[in-house]
Structures are given as C-alpha cells and as structure tokens.
Structure 1
Amino acid sequence: MTTSSTREVLDVIQAPDATAADFAALPLPASYRAVTVHKDEAGMFAGLESRDKDPRKSLHLDEVPVPELGPGEALVAVMASSVNYNSVWTSIFEPVSTFGFLERYGRTSPLAARHDLPYHVIGSDLAGVVLRTGPGVNKWHPGDRVVAHCLSVELESADGHDDTMLDPEQRIWGFETNFGGLAEIALVKANQLMPKPAHLSWEEAAAPGLVNSTAYRQLVSRNGAGMKQGDNVLIWGASGGLGSYATQFALAGGANPVCVVSSPQKAEICRRMGAEAVIDRSAEGYRFWKDDRHQDPREWKRFGGRIRELTGGEDVDIVFEHPGRETFGASVYVARKGGTIVTCASTSGYTHEYDNRYLWMSLKRIVGSHFANYREAWEANRLIAKGRIHPTLSRTYRLEDTGQAAYDVHRNLHQGKVGVLALAPREGLGVTDPELRARHLPAINRFKDA
C-alpha cells in the first residue's frame, strides 16, 4: 500500500488525461518506501552456508528520503520492479557486502557521495513514469512512461567510448549504486531510460530489463557469442531468468537451443517456448562432480552423447554459461571444436575448473560477458516492444513481500522472473496497446500459466 507521501504521485499517473505539465507541477514527496539492506547488519549471516542465508531476515521495507537530483539524472516513480540474482547476492552479503561498492563510489565525487549511506536501496529493474529530470537531460520529460536498464557509467575515460561496458567507472545500478528500483521512487541516469513496451503491464514491462539485455549481449551481440542461424546453443537453466530469454533469442534468430533444466515442469515450459531439444538433468541423473574436489569426465562424455542424440550428431556451437563451478567443466568439454563458451555469472560458485586440453587442443574460446551497453539494452528492449521476445514473468509479489520473493529466487523455487509491485496497486495496469497485447497474450502468459 502506498503512503500519503506517494499517493498523490500515483493519482496523477492513473489519471487518464494527465499531461506532462501535470507531472512537472506535481510536488515531489519528501520520502518514499524502499527495500533496503542495512550496513550494520552486513555480518548477520557470518558462519552460515550460502543456502542457509535467508533474505527475509536481511531485507527491510523502510521510509527513506528522496535523493537529490543531479545533472544528467532522472527521478522515476516506480510502478513495478523485479528480483534478479544480484538482489539475492546483496541480501545475503555475498560475495562481499555491497556497502564496499557504495563507499568506493561515494569517494569519486561530491555528487556520488549521496550513494554512501548506512542503508542500500536495492533493485536493478523498473517500469514507471519520469517525475523529474536534471540539468542536461533533453530526451526525457516528466510523464514519460519508461523502463530502465541497469548500466551506470561516467564516460569520462576514453575506454568506455567504443563499448560503454568497458568504462572504468561502469557500475550496476541498484547493486553497485544506491537508489535502486525495488522502491516507489528511483534515481537513475537519463541514459538508462528506454520506452516502456506499450502492450505490457507495469510488472510485465519491468521483468525483462536486466536478464533480457544480459542474454542479448551474451548470445547475440558481437561482444558476446555472435550467434548465427543454424547454431546449436546449449542453454543452462533454460526456463530461468536468463535462460528463458536466451532460449527465445535462439529460436527467434534461427538457432537450435538445447535447453537444460532441472524438472519436468521446467522442461514443459521450454517446449511451450518452442524448443524441441530439452534435457532434464535431474531425471537423467547427471552428476558432474564426484565430490567437492573431483569432477567426473565420464559424466561430461555421457552428457555430450545426449546432446548429440538431440542435434542429429552435432556438438554445440555455443554454450550459454551462468551456473559456473557446477557446470563449467562440462561446458568446456561439450562445446564443438572452435566453439564458444560465453559466461556471465557463477551462481553455483566462482572458482571454475575445467580440463584445459579440451580448450586449447580444440581451439575453443571462453568469453566473459557482463550485462550490456546502452545500444544492446535498447535493441533487446525494442524486440520486447515489437512482440518478438516476451516477458517470462511467472509470479508477482507486493513490495512488502520482496524478502519472500528474493528467498524464492535464492532457493530456485521460481520459474522465469518474479515481479514486484511498487506504486502499482494491482497487477495488469499500464497497458496502452491492447491490440498488440491481444496478438501475443498466450506468449505473455506462458510462464504465469505454468
């Protein structure tokens, strides 16, 4: 439920005849509700295994002051957001506390010092409405309906001007910066903003941002694997937040996804997306590690044989990697000669081990990929807006239930993405192109129906 400080904002957003002038004249509230972690609790899970750390204990719903608006920035009324794995990492203070990021950022400039606070407003996705823009912002105006990608850059170094992901001051908003999207108001740089897809509700529009852009760069972009028609693409966690978009990009781009999942229900979701080659690793009993220290190459070989059964005898051209330690040895082994293993995360552990003979003697490549630059994020969002790629939202939580949402993602109890309502009072609001929506409704609801 909104508080009195943000209710007037919501009233104007919901007014069918509200104009840009109405938004510009709207007084900013002094405070807003936000999901936070607290600096003085950073050690609360000391001694516990990752699996036993509970986001429901560390995530708070606080009333916090609206931050000062700086040049090139925008304040956005957040109608909906979503939970990504970086929000889980923040909530369990792994691999490190995010307050170290905020302290280092705060030392870079007087304006950045706003981010160094004893609380961290988290969240790296949003769909909402622009309330204010700072000096130097010309493209966006109060009242614009937007989504935000999570790349925050300074671009004062030459390194970032070919690929903004290479900016030395590149950060992930809501993870390495403060004032994120799991809140009623968020502070972003104006070059994070993109048009909200008109046929989607607020929560549907908020869900793709981080994972859709990450999957686009990792799989499609020349900065990642550069997927082409006819490629066989092994996708780990193919029904999850990242994998569900990778599967769609493979299908839309004329490639053949080989989807790896962990249950019959998740296998069925992949088939609903149009994938034909699906491996339920739990049902088929793959165990790539004999124990904590030793992998089992026989299981790599068995896994590779199963892939070839599904591809007509071919090895995979691309491996879409993100589990990390648990799967990386198998990923290097099963890629074809000259193939590419592209990795963007390590959700099962950061220390990757593989047999280098299968890399160097077969001329394979390992490519690191991290989120996406503005152009890549814009292209990924454009495909959403055109109805070529669809949100994979399965469930939506209230802002006050974000701890439970993060817990469910942490324990892999979810399908696709989980959304969080911020200012939006209920699901299903925000659609302005019902005709396009009607054409794609089965695909939009695919994960909800599951």
Structure 2
Amino acid sequence: MKEIVDAITSGQASAGEFSALRLPESYRAVVLYKSEADMFEGMASADKDPRKSIHVDEVPVPELGPGEALVAVMASSVNYNSVWSSIFEPVSTFAFLERYGRTNELAKRHDLPYHVIGSDLAGVVLRTGPGVNAWRPGDEVVAHCLSVELESSDGHDDTMLDPEQRIWGFETNFGGLAEIALVKSNQLMPKPKHLTWEEAAAPGLVNSTAYRQLVSRNGAAMKQGDNVLVWGASGGLGSYATQFALAGGATPICVVSSEQKAEICRSMGAELIIDRNAEGYRFWKDEHTQDPKEWKRFGKRIRELTGGEDVDIVFEHPGRETFGASVYVTRKGGTITTCASTSGYMHEYDNRYLWMSLKRIIGSHFANYREAWEANRLIAKGKIHPTLSKVYSLEETGQAAYDVHRNLHQGKVGVLCLAPEEGLGVRDQELRAKHIDAINRFRESDPL
C-alpha cells in the first residue's frame, strides 16, 4: 500500500507506472458485521451508538468485473446513510446485500458477512475491468454513489428509475470508507483540481442530491426569483441547497437550530434566516398530534422575511417533524421536494392545503449520472464549494458517524483513508487561492 500512496502523493506517476503497481491482497476498511445486526434491538433510534457497531478491519480486495474500477481511496466522508447502516435502520443493510447477491453470479461478491460502507470518495484509479474506455490507472477521480445495471428500458430516460438502481456503499458492498473501493466506471467523475482529497470527497452524495432535488427538472426546477425554504440550511444537504439557491438567483429562507448555524448561512450570502429553536417552533403537540397554529405562525414569519411572499419551493429532508408545516407554508401552485426523512418516514399533513391549493410533492432520491456530473462540474468551476467542517481518521469513523447521528456537526465531515495528512492533492493553486475563503468557510465554524 505504501507504494500506491507514494505514487499518488508524488503527483508525477504515469498511467503505466500505476498499472505496474502491485495490488495488495487486502486493505483496511470500515465494516459492519452481519452477526451484530440485532445488537440495538429494542432501543430507540436516538440511543443507538454507531461507535459500537462500526469497526475498522482488514478485508480482501474484491474481484474486478467488467465495467468496473478499483480506486485507491485517499479520502471519504460520512453521510446519513452511513448512520442508518451503522444503527441498522430502517432495516439492516445486509438485507440489501443478500438481495443484490441473488441477481447474478458477479453480484454474489457483495453478499458477505461484513459490509464495507461509505458512499463518497476522492482517489486514484488503480485498475479497470473489461469494457472500460473512459478511465485509466492514474486518473484522479471522485465517485458518485449511483450503481445501476441499465438492462431495463425503464432506466434509459432517467437512470434513477432503473429497477436495479442501488446506492453504492449502502445497498452494495465495497464502499468508500476504506483504502480501496470497487465502483462501476460510470460512477467516476474528474476530481476538482483546486481541492484537497478530503475537500473533494465531501460534496459527492449531498451535492448531487441537492442538485436533483432543487435544480434539475426531475426535481423542483428552481428558477430565478423563487423563494426557497431550506430546512437544516447549514447541514450536509441544506448547505448545498442554500448555495444552489444563491447561485441560481433564488432567495433561500434558511431554517437552522442555533445562532452559530445562522452565522454560517450569512457567511454563504443568505439574508433570510429562521432560528427554529430561538423562536420556539413546536409543530407537534405530542407524538400523535400536530399543531396547525404553529404552521400558521411559521408561515407568518416567512412572509415577514420575504415582504409578504410565500415560498415557491420547500427543500424537505427532516420528514415527519416538519412535513405538515412544509405543505402548509408552500404557496399556491408551489412545490415540496422531499428526500431522506431523518426525523421519521411516516409523514402527516393536511391534504386540504395540498389539493385545494394545487401544490405538488415530488419525491427525490440521489441523482442520475448527468445530474451528478453537472453538480460536480459546478464544484470544479468554483461556483459551488465544499462544506467540510471537520476531518477524522479512518479509525475515528465511528465517532464521526456518532457526531452526524447526534447533529453535532456542520456541513460535512470527512475521513482520511490513504491520505497521510490533510491538505494534499491540490493541482490548481491559482483557482484555489481565488476561492480559499469559501472553501474554508465551514472549517472555521463552531458547531456548538
């Protein structure tokens, strides 16, 4: 592994030299064990501790198949799907691996007693399988997390509709929280040259998800002048939605939970901010009953900020806790785009405010290759910036997942895999210098 790291950090090794490097028989990876899938049984979600289920272990390098690539992972990041994996919710991800393993002979590789998790990476291609022409060893890449088979016609208009669509590192094995990852070649995209490995690894999943949900015609198709309500506007998803709104000529109304998080939004250029804790919004009277008076108070506050206008788009991802309010405050003919449901999947809302006001609810899940490519292109051009706040070592991934689970973080948290230290991998110093304040914006924040 040292030879691989040396070749990468030199920045000068050729494709031939990378091809000649000997692959190790095993590598270190963040894993969950199938034998522990019931370890949190009977516990409330909030009490489940990823530090107990996440392990770092040595695992064999997987077999390389057609259309695939092995990537040396310099850095990765923690997404909420890694939290779900680690607390075995809503179901154990080993059920996904078993189901995938039954589809074909090559997919059987994924059905193992351990699961290498992680849905982001920045690194270097080591090997490519038969049929891969666009990438070669030595290419510096990031990976998006959409894994598709594309044998059905359903996926050829929008690959997210492919019946065999999966999220890599969540519904497949050999994910990015590791020293080596196995991906399909159509997951690869060029690494933004002005970013470090850990910065480049941070945007992938959340940036692409926010792009589809808010900008793409498959989502809300945001336009100039739209008012966009962004829940969790300084978090992993919301921080990118806020940037897309500002870059696209829309007006974000940022909902946050502290003054420190409000200040992060202001530093991005947002002006309309609601601190839901300071203003005391409680949308549920108890676990069974919502409070429409709080919806109305929330809507009134939005109109105070916007000069009397309701929101055109709601960027929804908390789910159960906020969904009733989201439907209520959206303007007539407006759109609620939803994904994730981190506070609960069973949404409740008053349908009168939806049907009689001609509103739309759009389900949005990750992004297709084109959307992910466009989202990454905006990062590479310095139009959208990573929201990396803190970096952990591979051995500290359990703590990183714990912090995300407890919402003790801002933006995204990164994980160093093969990178020996932070700050490596920058190839365009001039572009970096131009945007250094924005790149470091979240690194300088206090999440508490």
Q: Which residue is equivalent to 1:328?
A: 323
Q: Which residue is equivalent to 1:57?
A: 52
Shift of 1:252: 0.1
AA of the residue aligned to 1:276: E
Shift of 1:17: 2.4
AA of the residue aligned to 2:106: L
CA distance in 2, matches of 1:11, 1:199: 20
SS at match of 2:149: coil
CA distance in 2, matches of 1:90, 1:276: 36
Q: Which residue is equivalent to 2:197?
A: 202
CA distance in 2, matches of 1:291, 1:157: 45
Q: Does 1:392 align with 2:387?
A: yes
SS at match of 1:380: helix
Residue pair 2:246, 2:269 contacting (<8 A) in 1 also: yes
- TM-score (structure 1 length as normaliser): 0.99
SS at match of 1:290: strand
Q: Which residue is equivalent to 2:333?
A: 338
Q: Any unmatched runs of 5+ in structure 2?
A: none
Shift of 1:12: 1.2
Residue pair 2:9, 2:424 contacting (<8 A) in 1 also: no
1:173 pairs, out of 168, 173, 195, with: 168
CA distance in 2, matches of 1:355, 1:267: 30
Shift of 1:215: 0.1
Residue pair 2:391, 2:414 contacting (<8 A) in 1 also: yes
1:119-155 CA distances to partner (integer Å, 9 max, x unpaired)?
Answer: 0000000000000000000000000000000000000
Q: Which residue is equivalent to 2:230?
A: 235
AA of the residue aligned to 1:320: F
1:257-284 CA distances to partner (integer Å, 9 max, x unpaired)?
Answer: 0000000000000000000000000000
CA distance in 2, matches of 1:45, 1:173: 24
Q: Which residue is equivalent to 2:178?
A: 183
AA of the residue aligned to 2:111: D
Return structure 1 stretches of 4+ with deviation > 2 angstroms. none
CA distance in 1, matches of 2:101, 2:294: 48
CA distance in 2, matches of 1:430, 1:15: 10
Q: Which residue is equivalent to 2:299?
A: 304
**Aligned ranges 1:233-272 → 2 under 5 Å:** 233-272=228-267
Q: CA RMSD in A?
A: 0.4
1:223 pairs, out of 218, 223, 236, with: 218
Residue pair 2:283, 2:295 contacting (<8 A) in 1 also: yes
CA distance in 2, matches of 1:16, 1:409: 33
Q: Does 1:99 align with 2:126?
A: no
1:346-402 CA distances to partner (integer Å, 9 max, x unpaired)?
Answer: 000000000000000000000000000000000000000000000000000000000
Q: Does 1:193 align with 2:209?
A: no
**Aligned ranges 1:83-94 → 2 under 5 Å:** 83-94=78-89
SS at match of 2:281: coil
AA of the residue aligned to 1:93: F
2:26 pairs, out of 31, 36, 39, with: 31
Q: Which residue is equivalent to 1:363?
A: 358
AA of the residue aligned to 1:420: V
- Aligned identity (percent) is 84
1:281-304 CA distances to partner (integer Å, 9 max, x unpaired)?
Answer: 000000000001000000000000
CA distance in 1, matches of 2:285, 2:152: 47
Q: Which residue is equivalent to 2:287?
A: 292
Q: Does 1:375 align with 2:370?
A: yes
CA distance in 2, matches of 1:18, 1:74: 18
SS at match of 2:30: strand
Shift of 1:8: 1.6
CA distance in 2, matches of 1:277, 1:389: 20
AA of the residue aligned to 2:8: I
Q: Which residue is equivalent to 1:135?
A: 130
Q: Any unmatched runs of 5+ in structure 1?
A: 1-5
Residue pair 2:132, 2:185 contacting (<8 A) in 1 also: yes
AA of the residue aligned to 1:66: V
Q: Which residue is equivalent to 1:163?
A: 158
1:394-432 CA distances to partner (integer Å, 9 max, x unpaired)?
Answer: 000000000000000000000000000000011000000
Q: Does 1:73 align with 2:78?
A: no
SS at match of 1:80: strand
1:22 pairs, out of 17, 21, 31, with: 17
Q: Which residue is equivalent to 2:432?
A: 437
CA distance in 2, matches of 1:344, 1:218: 8
**Aligned ranges 1:423-434 → 2 under 5 Å:** 423-434=418-429
AA of the residue aligned to 1:112: A
SS at match of 2:229: strand
- TM-score (structure 2 length as normaliser): 0.99
CA distance in 2, matches of 1:271, 1:415: 14
SS at match of 1:418: strand
Q: Which residue is equivalent to 1:126?
A: 121
Q: Which residue is equivalent to 1:3?
A: none
CA distance in 2, matches of 1:195, 1:149: 11
AA of the residue aligned to 2:65: G
CA distance in 2, matches of 1:425, 1:300: 49
Q: Does 1:151 align with 2:160?
A: no
1:72-106 CA distances to partner (integer Å, 9 max, x unpaired)?
Answer: 00000000000000000000000000000000000
Q: Which residue is equivalent to 1:353?
A: 348
